[in-house]
Amino acid sequence: MAGRRSTGRRSTGTRVDLHRVRDRLPASIQDVVRDYERHLALERGLSPHTVRAYVGDVVSLLGFLHCLPITTPDQNNDQGRDDQGDSDERNSAEGKDDKGKSDSSREVSTGGIAALDLQALRAWLAALRTAGTGRTTLARRAASARTFTAWAHRRGHLPADPGGRLASPRARRTLPSVLREDQANEVLTASASGAAQRDAVALRDHALLELLYATGVRVSELSGLDLDDVDLERRVVVVLGKGGKERTVPFGQPAERAVREWLEHGRPSLARPVSPPALLLGARGGRFQPSSVRRIVHEALSSVPGAPVMGPHGLRHTAATHLLEGGADLRSVQELLGHATLATTQLYTHVTVERLKAIHDRAHPRSQ
């Protein structure tokens, strides 16, 4: 198998530039952040996107600990949005009142990393909540803080692990938007019509749409596929998932035909002498990037009347939903999607209610 690589949602809204916050941290704390970043990337094998998110949360926490601005004033009117930190700093977010004195919740935030205790963690989350951070983001940031403090304690940076006693708000699980079966068929039929002209780009786009819907893989997993990862005879792909875990995912005959057409009549037209062994190539012969896959999916779905606005992850939701509706068991769907826990897969069971009602009506003696 060819060498594997990691390939990387951010909500809109005003954010603090956490790069600036990181640069303003004391040199010793920046060293700790770099060490943690290496731990996440090399020891835990997380994707660059996940590493950036974890490190961003830690920078926000340590910035708060050292009285640096980590929130923006207009977030008070932006309830429920992420504030992962990317816009200009604002003076009113310095944690000071109108008289310029430090807020009492920041008085604990004057020392080095050893000052990171349970009180500081709670004060940080409270500051984010006051700035308008939503429950889901708060839950994620609390989880990131717990991961960091556990690591910092193991490395000797903290005398104890305060994160083990940190509670966080339960995130609200929103139900994913999915395509109906007829809408999915319409998307793929339209894509197949374009590919019938044997245009290289149309063949590639049809192949990626078929694979996304057939396998339910993540967009980064799709973009990371190499030629050796696809077995057309057995109709399976080997993908590198989160945490560097490999799994084998099957696909059906329509996806097989689409991939064969792309490999025989499309990819040779886009390949260059320096092209990587990637399954999907861009117009210049390089590996097709996740951002380009998202654009293709958005364009394909926008042509279907009534289809929800979604990207590649929406096709992943759709694939899981249609598998369950077709009678697949939850454990099998978990394995196919590469979910670490069954609880994540259970999110899709809401759409099977109508199917379960139909089974109940047919099978239960007291259903009528």
CATH number, position 304:
1.10.443.10
Domain that holds residue 122: 18-165
Pick the catalytic residue from 140, 218, 287, 322.
218
* CA–CA distance, 152 with 13 (Å, rounded to integer): 31
Question: What DSSP character marks residue 79?
Answer: T
Residue at 354 is within a domain:
no
Nearest CA-CA partner of 296 in 210, 229, 236? 210
Pick the catalytic residue from 141, 146, 206, 339.
339
* CA–CA distance, 289 with 277 (Å, rounded to integer): 14
Q: Do residues 258 and 188 share a domain? A: yes
Residue at 214 is within a domain:
yes
Identify whether 218 is a catalytic site residue. yes
User: Tokens representing 165?
Assistant: 């006693």
pLDDT one-digit tens code per residue, 294-341: 999 999 998 888 888 888 988 998 998 898 888 888 888 888 888 888
Q: 301 and 309 in contact (C-beta within 8 Å)?
A: yes
Residue at 51 is within a domain:
yes
Pick the catalytic residue from 36, 54, 213, 348.
348
Pick the catalytic residue from 20, 96, 242, 294.
242
Q: Do residues 80 and 37 share a domain? A: yes
Residue at 5 is within a domain:
no
* CA–CA distance, 360 with 293 (Å, rounded to integer): 40
State which of 116-120, 275-279, 364-368 shows the largest mean pLDDT: 275-279
**Cβ burial, residue 282 (10 Å; 0-12/13-18/19+):** middle
User: Tokens representing 133?
Assistant: 């951070």
Question: What DSSP character marks residue 4?
Answer: P
* CA–CA distance, 120 with 62 (Å, rounded to integer): 10
Q: Do residues 124 and 212 share a domain? A: no
Range with lowest mean pLDDT among 103-112, 118-127, 136-145, 178-187: 103-112
Residue at 54 is within a domain:
yes
Backbone angles phi, psi at 292, to 5 degrees: -70, -35
Residue at 329 is within a domain:
no
Number of domains in the chain: 2
Q: Domain boundary at 118, 134, 165, which?
A: 165
pLDDT one-digit tens code per residue, 214-259: 999 999 999 999 999 999 999 999 998 887 789 999 999 999 999 9
Nearest CA-CA partner of 52 in 22, 93, 13, 12? 22
Between CA 240 and CA 242, with CA 241 as vertex, the angle to 5 degrees is 135
Q: Do residues 196 and 60 share a domain? A: no
DSSP strands (E only) in the chain: 230-231, 236-240, 246-250
Q: Do residues 194 and 286 share a domain? A: yes
Identify whether 15 is a catalytic site residue. no
Q: Do residues 98 and 210 share a domain? A: no
* CA–CA distance, 185 with 193 (Å, rounded to integer): 12
pTM score, two decimals?
Answer: 0.62
**Predicted local confidence at residue 359, as pLDDT:** 59
Identify whether 39 is a catalytic site residue. no
**Cβ burial, residue 64 (10 Å; 0-12/13-18/19+):** buried
> What is the overall mean pLDDT for the chain?
80
Q: Do residues 207 and 149 share a domain? A: no
Identify whether 36 is a catalytic site residue. no
* CA–CA distance, 241 with 255 (Å, rounded to integer): 20
Q: 134-154 burial, b if ≥16 CB within 10 A, otherwise e?
A: bebbbbbbbbbbbbbbebbbe
* CA–CA distance, 227 with 2 (Å, rounded to integer): 8
Q: Do residues 146 and 206 share a domain? A: no
Q: Do residues 149 and 119 share a domain? A: yes
Pick the catalytic residue from 66, 140, 316, 317.
316
Q: Do residues 131 and 67 share a domain? A: yes
Q: Do residues 160 and 205 share a domain? A: no
Q: 223 and 290 in contact (C-beta within 8 Å)?
A: yes
**Predicted local confidence at residue 319, as pLDDT:** 92
12 Rama sector, left if φ>0, alpha if ψ -120 to 50, beta otherwise: beta
What are the C-alpha distances in Å from 38 to residues 108, 202, 212, 281, 356? 28, 40, 31, 30, 47
Q: Is the pLDDT of residue 273 over 60?
A: yes
Identify whether 213 is a catalytic site residue. no
Q: Domain boundary at 165, 195, 213, which?
A: 165
Q: Which residues pair with 133 in a beta bridge?
A: 81
Residue at 44 is within a domain:
yes
Q: Do residues 143 and 189 share a domain? A: no
Residue at 223 is within a domain:
yes
Q: Domain boundary at 165, 198, 233, which?
A: 165
